[in-house]
Amino acid sequence: MRHLVALLAALAVVAVFGAATIELGRRAASESARVTAIFPPGTTAEAMLARIARADGRPIRGTLLPFAVEVAGDTPGIAARLQAHGALVVVARLPSDGLAVGGCSYLPAAAYTSVRERLRVAPL
């Protein structure tokens, strides 16, 4: 019984710190041009890219979560636009580059502009 109480207390502490971190991240994201967008689990990479393109964002890199992407925006308000296009949570950049994966993709950097334009005209 003592172990169960200790486990529940530890989970409560993690939940409180997690909620506080997300809230601080949301506030910082509203002022940032580079954010991490977390989409509903199960969202395909193609759907995430289409939503990012419609929000006038640029994908920077993936994260350890398959439904989260680091995104840059050239105009103010990228966080609000991403949420309007389906992101569940938008927080400021990841607190650690160790949480991100790669920065590599199969497309050359120049291809992102043309992909973004095609998806904006005819989203998936």
Q: pLDDT (tens digit, 9 = 90+) per residue, 32-41?
A: 578 889 999 9
Residue 113, pLDDT score: 62
pLDDT the model gives residue 102: 46
Sheet with 68-73: strands ordered across: 89-92, 34-38, 68-73, 57-63, 100-101
pTM as predicted:
0.58
For the cut 80, the answer to whether the pLDDT of residue 98 exceeds it is no
Helices 111-121, 45-54: axis angle to 10 degrees equals: 80
Whole-angstrom CA distances from 116 to 38, 54, 59, 99 are: 19, 8, 10, 25
User: What gap in Å lies between CA 19 and CA 89, rounded to an integer?
Assistant: 12
Query: Considering only 3-7, 36-40, 60-64, which range has the smallest mean pLDDT?
Result: 3-7
3-state secondary structure at position 56: coil
pLDDT of 104 > 80? The answer is no
